[in-house]
């Protein structure tokens, strides 16, 4: 099997529109060259996104309320319905080629869930899947949303894990299937360092997707598969 490279970019606070532009740029590169994959980890400002299975009425906030909240709304090409991205949440965007060995959308989504489940377990949080629903759940509610898009077997979008997230922002949408939501800090009773969670996510992403030689990273790291 030919070795592939993956570049992990830890971008910190990053605008949604800028993140979408970067995903599109990297997607084109991966589709055309199939030489290197990417994994973006970041934190968005307050943003509501509307997936392919949703309608705009899933956002309950008026324009005036959105202005007060300091939140923006974007329609996207990812799967799923309406969700929230914001401060205190880690968003992961893998831009990777699933071709030819991993051409299975359902397995890919399950693998993303597995990355989150393992990462939560590293913090002592028990989490699980619910049949016929996408995402990761705990006894206190849904803790991670997943919505993906594929073009020529190259992935974009990904997962959003609630770490220290202000859950009041979810009150202004009909999120996913309407299930309750929770956060890592609520379960553990303490605020968690986002960078510490990113370290664990990178480790488990490498294990689930078969990447090797991931070491402690700064802004960018490159590893082989």
In this structure, how many other beta carbons lie within 10 angstroms of the beta carbon of residue 185?
15
Asked if 118 and 207 touch (Cβ cutoff 8 Å), the reply is yes
Active site residues: 176
By CB neighbour count within 10 A (0-12 exposed, 13-18 middle, 19+ buried), where does 208 fall? middle
State the sign of the Cα–Cα–Cα–Cα dihedral 199, 125, 71, 177: positive
In whole angstroms, what is the distance from residue 155 CA to residue 149 CA?
6
The pLDDT value given to residue 221:
52
The mean pLDDT value of the chain amounts to: 89
pLDDT over 60 at 12, yes or no: yes
In whole angstroms, what is the distance from residue 79 CA to residue 70 CA?
25
Among 117, 114, 93, CA closest to 41: 93
Using one digit for the tens of pLDDT, what is the confidence trace for 142-175? 999 999 999 999 999 999 999 999 999 999 987 6
The pLDDT value given to residue 225:
46
In this structure, how many other beta carbons lie within 10 angstroms of the beta carbon of residue 214?
19
The pLDDT value given to residue 217:
44
Using one digit for the tens of pLDDT, what is the confidence trace for 102-142? 999 999 999 999 999 999 999 999 999 999 899 999 999 99
Tokens 């997707």: give the residue. Answer: 209
Give Cβ neighbours of residue 55 (< 8 Å, ≥ 6 apart). none
State the sign of the Cα–Cα–Cα–Cα dihedral 189, 157, 47, 139: negative
pLDDT over 50 at 224, yes or no: no
Q: How is domain 5-210 classified at the CATH fold level?
A: BirA Bifunctional Protein; domain 2 (3.30.930)
Q: Both tokens of residue 83?
A: 């969700």
The pLDDT value given to residue 32:
95
Asked if 85 and 44 touch (Cβ cutoff 8 Å), the reply is yes
The rounded Cα 47 to chain-centroid distance in angstroms is: 13
In whole angstroms, what is the distance from residue 147 CA to residue 52 CA?
10
pLDDT over 60 at 216, yes or no: no
In whole angstroms, what is the distance from residue 48 CA to residue 83 CA?
6
Give CA separation, 81 vs 58, 133, 141, 152, in Å. Answer: 8, 12, 17, 23
Q: Is the pTM of this model over 0.85?
A: yes
Among 171, 145, 21, 156, CA closest to 83: 145
Q: Both tokens of residue 51?
A: 């997936």
For the chain, the structural domain boundaries read 5-210
């Amino acid at each position: 099997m030919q070795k592939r490279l993956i570049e992990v970019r830890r971008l910190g606070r990053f605008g949604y529109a800028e993140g979408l532009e970067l995903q599109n740029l990297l997607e084109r590169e991966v589709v055309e060259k199939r030489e290197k994959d990417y994994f973006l980890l970041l934190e968005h400002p307050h943003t509501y996104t509307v997936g392919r299975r949703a309608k705009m009425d899933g956002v309950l906030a008026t324009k005036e309320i959105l202005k007060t909240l300091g939140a923006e709304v974007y329609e996207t090409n990812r799967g799923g319905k309406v969700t929230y991205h914001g401060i205190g949440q880690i968003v992961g965007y893998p831009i990777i080629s699933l071709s030819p060995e991993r051409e299975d959308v359902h397995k890919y989504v399950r693998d993303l869930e597995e990355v989150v489940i393992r990462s939560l377990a590293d913090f002592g949080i028990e989490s699980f899947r619910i049949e016929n629903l996408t995402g990761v759940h705990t006894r206190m509610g849904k803790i991670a949303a997943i919505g993906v898009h594929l073009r020529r077997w190259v992935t974009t979008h990904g997962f959003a894990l609630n770490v220290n997230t202000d859950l009041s922002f979810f009150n202004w949408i009909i999120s996913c299937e309407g299930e309750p939501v929770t956060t890592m800090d609520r379960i553990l009773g303490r605020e968690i360092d986002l960078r510490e969670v990113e370290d664990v996510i990178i480790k488990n992403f490498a294990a689930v997707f078969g990447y090797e030689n991931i070491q402690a990273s700064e802004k960018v790291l490159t590893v082989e598969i």
